[in-house]
Structure 1
Amino acid sequence: MKFHPHNSQDVHYWDSTILKRLSERTGYVDEPLTYERVAVQVLGSYRDHDEYRDELYTIGQEPMYKWQMLFTGMPKEIAPQTRTEVQKILQIHRETPLSANRMMAFFHGANLFPLKNTPYDEQYREAFKQWLAMLEERYPKLQAPNLHRFFMDLVKWSAHYFPKWIAEGLFDDQVPRILWHGEARETEVYWLYFLYLYGCDIVVLHPSGDDIFKPYTLSLPQHHLDEHVPYFDFPLEKPQRIRTVAQKASEELQETIYGGHSLHYPWKYREYEPQNRILQTTYDELFLLVQEYTHMRQGFEADAQHVYIPTLFAKIVGISRNKEEYATRLQRLMEDEWTYTVNAFPIVQKQRANMQFHYRDASTNGRLDVEKMIQLSVWPYKKLAIPLQKGLAHAIVRLIEEAPVERLLNETQQQYEHYVFGQALAIPMQAIQLFQRFDYAYRSPTIVAFYEEAGGVLTREDAILLKLLNMLGFDILLFNPTGQRDLEAYIEPTYYDTHWLEEMTFTETLASIKAYRKQVDGSKIRTIFKRFLN
């Protein structure tokens, strides 16, 4: 059986349409099944923010809606056999690219479609085919390192939800009503879009007004409310009205004076969640940009909730033939008050504590909860201002969910999450102090890591630390004169730039570079002095 849904024409009244059975909606036809589908992004809030929170609480609690509130947390575990089958198909595709029809046949033959042998299998296959076409527009020939995650999540979540929805009778003159609130990772956006293609009702709420589909060149109809407001969690408990009239007036005055188009006055973004954007640069540009205010860099912007910070994450391999220039640039970096220099590895030790129960206590429905994280007894950043704690906690959540540091072959997903979580609680004090001084629109702190042959080995724990600091807005510059592997052993090279210089050396140390710089400076002084005497 195939569905033929068409989008509701008037998104303003989505809340009344979604309560109707399919047969009660405009344009319903029984054979073939044709119906009006609710698909809408509700962006923004009422001017009375408290009233909007009250309404969200009401529709969230109202049994009539029968919401599938996927944003509260989706399952992370996948059956080992299922994982193996998906990996086999993707390996075949990497070696000999498959057409969309052949790939669909492989997935279907491996019993990876949860509705096989049901009347809904044909619709699932049709949605999967459209989903592949959509994905191929963004990733030509379906060849990209992160595609395995999208396929794995689609199979995992489909196997969890679709059989349950059928058992609950959610395809008897109705379809699942999907509710999503707030931000979504790329893999979650593709999952939501698959459900849309399948024919489910989809309602996405975002008080900040962000279109979660736009970055991926997808679209869903939009319904805009009065104004955009800072992001807030979906009210699962009855909101309490505590703002006074004077407080509301004060907030309105702040917005008038310091609106989104005003200058970047000090600490304007202190309450915002920092998110980084990695800049791709030439080798020479690194040393120009590293001392430039972040708001002057290409890509700096802010919305109602986030401040997007363009950052540097680069590995410099070898040493320039112009050693004077190389030494001068490195010396200037290290002397800068915003730089934290390391040349002994590991930078941090591996955390041995069992994080299982701490991770559980910091989670809601299996997903890390920022508010719970900062209340943990093992949370080491309690001395930071609350906005900084929350910004750091959000970065840790992204670090775990985006998983830029690769998982070990013998490591389960749960073990990986606990491990990364534990390491994220071990940021060195020097870096924390720089983070406290960091005003997101101004100078970005810099980590200069200089790899020496006898200085130890960069570890997976170090890779996690550097990536986390980069996500917070730090610039990361790793100097490796030897050309040996370090970061690439743990992080995909797509997450950082690599600049190759002319010479490889195994004898240079940070001390020898400093000494060379002093020798050059001394030579110049003697030359000037000799000219003066002559």
Structure 2
Amino acid sequence: MAEGSQYRKKMPAVIWYGEANKKSALFFLLYYVMLIGCDVVLFHPEGKDSFRELDPEEKLTFIDQYPGTSKLEPFPAEKPERKSTVAYRSTRELEEVLHTEDSMLYKPWQFRDHTPHSITLKTTYDELFLIAKERSFIRPNFKADRDTIQIPNLFAKMMGVTRDKREYWDRIHTLMEGKETKTIRHFPFTKEVTSNYQFHYQHALSSAGEIDPDLLMKSNVWQFFLIYMRVRSVRLQRRYLESVSIRSY
């Protein structure tokens, strides 16, 4: 194993590019690594399938096919070098100056790598309606540093009705018309789960009494059932329509 690898926590993955000589010891090493449960991906630009004889019925493998082929070239030792233009460098420098954590000029997804922390604000009745319509970075106590971002939020409970009922309902309707507002008009506001999970569990067991992943994924109780069926359908269509293969293990 490579130094520093986390094979005790996660199975390693192997990527093989080019020819896989059947007489080579590495060929049988790849096959052995595949059998013990590691992910093995074989790329061959010319579409050659070195493992066809070992798994002709594709019981252990599946094929991703592409419409074209190309000559097998040596694997590049370095990544392609890309040169930045003057306009690109200027844009990056401008972003570094304008879009900092404390500039108040933020771009979309600027804080996607930050760890969010929520801060509940204590406000008055009148201030509540002023702050509620503002974005988070406009609200008091918003703060962002290099790794974290503090997001102010509101949690308020209003008891009774004010003397000016018209103003009261105008404010309530203003909150309800918010783009991200969810208004609950009745209780309970959650749906009761009536599915018999014991029934689905029994039909996901193998003959040995253990959960079978294939049976579980085919069950409609699995939340990704529709995605599984669509992916399976696309793969079958690609296998049927395309003729040149790159085998993935």
Q: TM-score range by the shorter chain?
A: 0.3 to 0.5
Of the two structures, which has the highest relative contact order with CA contacts closer than 8 Å and spacing of 6 or more? 2
TM-score (norm 1): 0.20
Largest Rg, 1 or 2: 2
TM-score (norm 2): 0.39
